[in-house]
Amino acid sequence: MLKPLPDAILAPLTKGGNLPFRRLCVEFGAPITMSEMAYARQVVRGSRPERALLRKHPSESCFGVQIAASKPEDAVAAGRIAVENGAAFVDLNCGCPIHDVVRRGMGATLLQRPAALQRIVAAMVEGLPVPVSVKLRSGWKEDEINAPEIARLCEEAGAAMVTLHPRTREQRYTKAADWSLVARLVQERSIPIVGNGDVLTWHEARDRRAESGCASVMLGRGVLIKPWLFREIVEQRTWLPTAEERVGVYARFIAHCREHFGDDEKGRKKASYFLPWHFGFFCRWRPLPEAIFEARAKTYPLMQTRIDGEGDGAGELSPLERILRDPREAVHKQLATLFWDAPDAAAACAALERLAAETPAPLDGEAGEVAVAHG
């Protein structure tokens, strides 16, 4: 793990944190990347899909593997396999709210079992030759906020870093992240505390760090919408890419996918599992000029704010811009196919123009609530 920590870290993104996407983030300046969450027990049993999550790209200079575990022995065994595959640190997931995870006694369930959580962390610290970190949520629900207690137990067990996503398991993403809780952990603990939640712009990353005192910010949904967020944070300035420039970014991502999964029907099938999902995030990007939105972001996170048309020229969209912003899942599947078949960004632009001419605009109600997360 890098010391001192950089300004921003890529979050472990289930479904989104595939190797090609992490590679794209590295190209935009991500200094620390993390795998998708892997089930420790399945890693130990040799599951090929789960083991595949541990694979790193040569460009990932500091790569961490996140595991979900309910037993110390599974966590240690899986952690050792991760290290053998190049992990610079191993992270224990103690925040995943998904039903399939919590029903197995992992993820956010561990927030309700502090002693068991501490035993797992202690075993990992003792049994692994690399640093161990822990990712938490605030608690199980609003009247059970126990992140401060859990963070203390993690530090006592020897964890090198704690990341807090300051929402409860019950809240999911329905409320704004409570960064005052991140600040509390920073004041109470002597190990690095990383804050995670609702960071969509470089100035929000700057302000959250300044307000909380956290060692770094972890980027999740924000970087899914705009992978270039890492570059914005490094350069401390907003990039407002044209539609053509964004096509270039997406085409580069698809090229990484073809290289990783194979440029054939088998590779296409593997990539089709998550590519439409990615376009479901890419379509949420909107230009947020600092002159208009920097002050506003200080009072309420832009990720949680619905903004219709202000500052983004929504009434004068080109056909290319319109199709890239289309929120419909059916269109995202078409985009995935189109980009996969296009030999380069120029060909993708031409195909997108044709698709835009053939595709009616969404009807009222079809756009849903996509605009609550701008970029």
Q: Which residues contact 325 (CB under 8 A, 6 or more apart)?
A: 283, 285, 286, 317
The enclosing H or E element of 112 equals none
Q: Which residues contact 111 (CB under 8 A, 6 or more apart)?
A: 94, 95, 117, 136, 137, 139, 140, 144, 146, 147, 150, 169
How far is 14 from 240, CA to CA, in rounded Å? 27
Other C-beta atoms closer than 10 Å to the C-beta of 93 total 23
Exposed, middle or buried by CB within 10 Å (0-12, 13-18, 19+), for 84?
A: exposed
Q: What residue type is 220 in one-letter code?
A: G
Does residue 62 have an active-site annotation? no
Other C-beta atoms closer than 10 Å to the C-beta of 126 total 12
Q: Which of 25, 96, 154, 257 is catalytic?
A: 96
Exposed, middle or buried by CB within 10 Å (0-12, 13-18, 19+), for 298?
A: exposed
How far is 228 from 224, CA to CA, in rounded Å? 9
Handedness of CA 289, 290, 292, 296 (dihedral sign): positive
Catalytic residue positions?
A: 96
